[in-house]
Structure 1
Amino acid sequence: LAKMQAGATGYDLIIPSDYMVSIMIQLDMLKELDHANIPNLANIYPRFAEAPYDPGNVYTAPYQWGTTGIGYNEAEVGGIPDSWDYIFNPEVAQKFAGKMSLLNDQREVIGAALKYLGHSMNSVDPDELEAAKQTILAIKPYVATFDSDSFGDLLVSGDVIIGHGWSGGYFQDIYASDNENLGYVIPKEGGVIWTDNLAIPKTAPNPYTAEVLINYILDADIAAMITNFNYYASPVETAEPLILDDIKQDPGIYPSEETLAKMEFLRDLGEGTLLWDRIWTEIKSE
């Protein structure tokens, strides 16, 4: 976003996250998709055809989706940490002192604390955000690192035994390891459901070619191949029969409808972003 706002051009296709799509639409940065060039849009699940950030896929097509939850070593943690209590309750978190990681992402970390406290992950209420800040500060002494790049590697290596991260990032490393104690769980309180999306900037030099590529990515065979490679769930419904059973049947990758009902998309916070920025700065600096 910053590069494009600064005048960067030449991009035919970009992959913004869901709440970033909302911001880019408001800033008039995205081209409307020509659905005639993307017939495979008909292949996607209804949930992603009417996503709150772009109902009707006017500007975007879903690429992949996933959740944010807890990666863990069951033997070291002493069970499956199926609640945010394992992260945000100081009496529990202190057991993992120096062996716990959080994402280095303000929307995810503050959002998870809000969910733990029973609030919306998109809250802009000052009192709720202050409570979330104090909750995070209370467990910060036990956090080994804030990391959004290597959280899966840290779990596999044993540097951490419990962490907060994105589903596919964990599963790629967990499936590649030979440690049967490693797993990923969506906390019972719920969490973030997110979508990475395919979009075309208004300044794209080759928008038709970009639409042809989007259509190719939404082909059932291609979508399944991508999911089978990187363990992120596919929004392409027709790809489901082609996805490996181990992936389809893992509730951490394809959650139940009951679990999905507790998940939230991150939304554009508007002017509330300034408050979130201040809260995050205070968390990281204290």
Structure 2
Amino acid sequence: MKRRIITTQVALALGGLMLAGAAAAQDENKLYLFNWTEYMDPDIIQAFEDQYDVEVVQSYYNSLPEMAAKLNAGGVSQYDVIFPSNYYVPRLIQSGLVQKLDKSKLPNLDNVMDEFADPSYDPGAEYSVPYQWGTSGIVYDTNTFPDAPKSWSLLFDPEVNPDQPFALMGDGQVSMGAACAYLGKGYDCTNPDDWKAAAKLLLDTKHRDTFSGFTDGTPALQQIQRGVVRAAVSYNGDYLQQKQENPDAYEHIAFMIPDEGTEMWVDTMMIPAEAPHPNLAHEFINFILDAKIGAQLSNYIYYASPNKAAQPDLDEVLTQPPVLPSEADRGHLEFTPSLQGDELQMFQQLWTEVQSR
């Protein structure tokens, strides 16, 4: 009886190990992505699944703070590939939430444009690979503002826009950067005194009767399309996508890059430090870097490709403004600064004050 009990216990233990092993083996056939919403062509996912005989599981976030919070809450071991914007890359590296790339597993890395191959936010591109890039700018109703200046004054100067509703972006660094640029301090300002002046401008702007609120990207475009606001801040690719889908509604809606300067952003692909399937993650990143796949991705989501090999296959609309800024506008673009430590804490305090007062 005792021997039988022992045998049964061993059998149960072995059975458990076999089940665990089977689950682990099954899990090896899955890739977990954590991405912005509506930022991937489903056909690309299907093509990857077919080629590698795996299942891709996608989860989504709506903001970078949300992404970082989930990584810190255990997501670092739940996701294989994440898609943070450039100014979050150094934070993720410094906090140990991401791992270095094994470039020997990324033969398509040579397809990356030179300007993205050694970025300031990730020297040597040791941790990140560019996914898409674009700009932030002002979208506005040309019927309401037929002579709109190419300037942030359309939002910040009550004499230029005395009575028309408008919105600013809910991303604190974009709105603070815009205020800094308008004040002549540069979009990429980091001087504490400049930040304080920008925060005061934002507070003054926020208390104007025509201020509609802090509204991000696509929702801002929807508001301007419905006439809720007449000017707002959005992204060039979002604007183009909405315009392509609703040409009549966007006949009198334009996108501008203010001459005082604005954001050039790069969304990247990174592998969390404890990713369950790092080898498959490298396969996926290399897949996205393929010339044909890179072009297919941009043609689907209407943003600029950092893939030089993809350029011949891009739709014509992606080779001209607003997706590709003019040479003059390129001179007005800056990366959003990556803030850490005391600098980040001070910024967050100022932004919290702007939002709460």
Using the size of structure 2 for normalisation, the TM-score is: 0.76
Q: Give the gaps of 5 or more residues in structure 2.
A: 1-67
What is the CA-CA distance between 1:80 and the residue it aligns to?
4.4
8 Å contact kept, 1:174–1:183: no
Return the index of the structure with the highest Cα Rg: 2
Query: Corresponding residue for 2:56?
Result: none
Structure 2 residue 183 is the aligned partner of structure 1 residue 114: no
Match of 1:134 among 189, 195, 200: 200
1:161-200 equivalences under 5 Å are: 161-177=230-246, 178=248, 179-200=250-271
Q: Within 2, Cα distance between the matches of 1:281 and 1:19?
A: 19
What is the CA-CA distance between 1:118 and the residue it aligns to?
1.4
What is the CA-CA distance between 1:202 and the residue it aligns to?
1.4
Match of 2:137 among 52, 55, 69: 69
What is the CA-CA distance between 1:120 and the residue it aligns to?
3.3
Alignment CA distance shift 1:229-1:80 (3 Å): farther
What is the CA-CA distance between 1:163 and the residue it aligns to?
0.7
Structure 2 residue 78 is the aligned partner of structure 1 residue 7: no
What is the CA-CA distance between 1:81 and the residue it aligns to?
4.2
8 Å contact kept, 2:82–2:269: yes
What is the CA-CA distance between 1:70 and the residue it aligns to?
0.5
What is the CA-CA distance between 1:234 and the residue it aligns to?
0.8
The alignment partner of 1:23 has SS state of helix
For 1:30-57, what per-residue CA distance to the aligned partner results, in whole angstroms no more than 9, with x for missing partners?
A: 1111112111111111111111111222
Q: Give 1:103's aligned amino acid.
A: M
Query: Corresponding residue for 2:36?
Result: none
For 1:128-161, what per-residue CA distance to the aligned partner results, in whole angstroms no more than 9, with x for missing partners?
A: 1121122222222222121115112112222222
In angstroms, what is the RMSD of aligned CA positions?
1.6
Moved more, 105-114 or 72-81: 72-81
Structure 2 residue 170 is the aligned partner of structure 1 residue 101: no
Q: Within 2, Cα distance between the matches of 1:78 and 1:261?
A: 25
What is the CA-CA distance between 1:265 and the residue it aligns to?
0.9
Q: Give 1:244's aligned amino acid.
A: D
Q: Give the gaps of 5 or more residues in structure 1.
A: none
8 Å contact kept, 1:67–1:194: yes
Q: Within 2, Cα distance between the matches of 1:243 and 1:79?
A: 33
Structure 2 residue 128 is the aligned partner of structure 1 residue 57: no
What is the CA-CA distance between 1:106 and the residue it aligns to?
0.7
Query: Corresponding residue for 2:337?
Result: 267
> What's the % identity of the aligned pairs?
36
Query: Corresponding residue for 2:16?
Result: none
What is the CA-CA distance between 1:260 and the residue it aligns to?
2.0
The alignment partner of 1:150 has SS state of helix
Query: Corresponding residue for 2:324?
Result: 254
What is the CA-CA distance between 1:185 and the residue it aligns to?
1.1
Alignment CA distance shift 1:226-1:81 (3 Å): farther
The alignment partner of 1:63 has SS state of strand
Q: Within 1, Cα distance between the matches of 2:96 and 2:188?
A: 23
Query: Corresponding residue for 2:293?
Result: 222
Using the size of structure 1 for normalisation, the TM-score is: 0.93
Q: Which has the higher contact order (CA 8 A, sep 6+)?
A: 1
The alignment partner of 1:32 has SS state of coil
